[in-house]
Amino acid sequence: MLLNSNYVINEKLPSTNWHLKENTRDHHTSKFSSKELIVRRGQAFVVTFSGIEQPDQNLTFIAETGPKPSKQAKTQATFGISSTVSKENWSAVLQSTSSNSASIAISSPANAVIGRYKLSVQSTSSGSSSPATLGTFVLLFNPWSSGDDVFMSNKAECEEYVLEEFGIIFSGNTHHINSFGWNFGQFQGDILNICLSMLDRSLNYRQDPATDVSHRNDPKYLGRVLSAMVNGNDDQGVVLGNWSGNYEGGKSPSSWTGSGEILQNWKKSGFKPVRYGQCWVFAAVLTTVLRCLGIPTRTITNFSSAHDADGNLRVDEFYDASGNHLERGADSVWNFHVWNESWFSRSDLGPSYSGWQILDATPQEESGGIYQCGPASRNAIKEGDVELDYDCPFVFAEVNADRMYWNYDPATGKKTLIFSKTTTIGQFISTKAVGRDDRVDVTSDYKYEEGSRKERDIFKKAHLNLILVLANLHKLIDSHELSLAAMATGLSSQAQHKRKTLILGMKLCSLIKVFTISFFFFLSEKHFPVKISYAEYQQQLTTDNTIQITALCHVEGGIQVLVQRDITLDNPAIDIQVLGEAKVNKEVDVEVVFTNPINAEVMDCVLQVEEVPSSCYQKYINQNIDMDDFDLNTEMTQNFLLAHSFKPAFHLN
């Protein structure tokens, strides 16, 4: 409801008092080194502006952010003075007035877009069509507000994961855990501006600035964007990784002690990636940025951390017969790996998946075409729900992959499983204690007790969610149809009662046939018979007669599982009968019989007959066989010709 304020704005630019001390104290932003007002969404702040005359008229405020503010994108809000604060929309409540000034309590909704806003005010009676600018302020996430997605009820945890500037990161190995301090410095001068610059330099922003800004109300969106921006692989992000041991042209990753210098150097260089970083540097910088924007965040160290490059939930290591490790395959195990957990709700997945979400800025594998990872729900990882967004299979493997040791023979290409270990990956998962410099082990939050039946059941559940089998692939012999069946396999549990889509593709030179089947996965197995007619693949069939069958299982809102099988189609049989007596250097009649297996007329067929070179007769000459006895009708002669691959080739065009 709009009330008569009895005030209008003077034509001159009004003077604005942002009440920095009071507002920043109430909004937990007093640690920022800034003369600009920094507040948190879902909570009122007071602004006083002067330069007012007193005709009887209404005031209208405009708050806008981004390059193309709009009400539809929720990057622009127009609101008048009301009697009460609105929880769903921007609102302004008159606090006090004097002869030429007014104090207004302005509130944003708890799901407002975060970023730098311009605040303006307008009065219709002033006769001016343009609003007067009061100034700018920065709006952040608010973990102290119950309506915010990042709300954290524990005040001590809010202090630790949002306001604490110094932390401890753990490193080493499972037998010797080290720790070192880190200055996150999220409140240092200009760090907030640099963090906002990171958002404006992301690939998402470059592609569609207005849409990107409109999504900045969502912590999972921002977390994913920033996990990409902290590394410099795709987008001229903050830090360039280097694991070579040669750090010429930059600094050793172990020489950094805080994020502030890194972020400042990034800006000073014209936003070129800072050289160099490794996992703890990426995680520490991401901690700084997310805490700065108001998202509760901490660093997590995983010892014996798996890098499962091929998505099969196992780490394969290869050795030769002498026990030498072979650099074969992209899987690896790191002594330790550091990533982030950020706290926010997951309305896209449901309340059981809210809480700590895993983000990883270290460039390991592409996700969605760029180097980013997460947010993966930690609860989903523990329960093996790897079909959920985002990057759950990769994170699950980091803490729970099976380690497989293979003997590999380079000469034959044969690999033999030596042994496997199921309990070595994901040990002593660690983070700093709240309010203390102690290590807290959070392994039990990621998985059930190692080696326990529950842990193994969860692993099987996660692994079976990834299994899709192509079965019953029949060769084309007497039928013009290609028959195959896909079989999806998983566990029979309530967690599996999700809609899945099976996509079957037949690939020759190009994809020519796609089947899409949508189904609910109630059973432990489900079979999908498919028949493909000759007419659908004849033009694409190549001389090798090989067809690649691809089955892709897509879970709604989850992962895609892909398997492939190659099959070779048999040529139809050709029966050759020699009519009459066959002698060397003498004509003979031969009858070629072919049965057309397809329901279509065969045109322009070619029968290719290869002449036996005279050199092939030498064996018979050496065996004192009379060339006149070289009879095609004899079993001996036919066997000889077959042994030397003298077979007629029949091609259908």
Choice among 195, 279, 373, 392 that is catalytic: 279
Residues 6+ apart with CB under 8 A from 616: 640, 644, 646
Choice among 337, 373, 389, 553 that is catalytic: 337
Choice among 218, 316, 360, 385 that is catalytic: 360
Catalytic residue list contains 360: yes
Here the contacts of 16-20 (C-beta below 8 Å, separation 24 or greater) are 16/47, 16/48, 16/49, 16/134, 16/135, 17/47, 17/48, 17/49, 17/50, 18/47, 18/135, 18/137, 19/45, 19/46, 19/47, 19/48
Reduced to 3 states, what is the DSSP secondary structure of residue 139?
strand
Contact status, residue 357 vs residue 368, Cβ threshold 8 Å: no
Q: Locate 127 and state its tokens.
A: 């006769």
The one-letter code for the residue type at 409 is: D
Q: Is 455 annotated as a binding residue?
A: yes
Residue 11 belongs to what H/E stretch?
A: none
The alpha carbons of the chain give a radius of gyration, in whole angstroms, of 35
Q: Is 450 annotated as a binding residue?
A: yes
Sort residue 236 into left (φ over 0), alpha (ψ -120 to 50) or beta: left
Q: Is 317 annotated as a binding residue?
A: no
Q: Is 111 annotated as a binding residue?
A: no
544 CB neighbour count, 10 Å cutoff: 10
Residue 418 and residue 164: Cα distance in Å, rounded?
48
Residue 321 CA, distance from chain mean position: 38
Q: Locate 362 and state its tokens.
A: 């270290």
Nearest by Cα to 477 from 610, 568, 385, 554: 568
Strands 115-123 and 427-432: unpaired
Could you tell me the end-to-end alpha-carbon distance of the chain, in angstroms, rounded to an integer?
79
Residue 368 CA, distance from chain mean position: 5
Catalytic residue list contains 215: no
H helix runs in 230-339, sequence order = 259-268, 279-293
Q: Show which residues are catalytic.
A: 279, 337, 360
Binding site residues, as ranges?
400, 402, 450, 455
Binding site residues for Ca(2+), as ranges?
400, 402, 450, 455
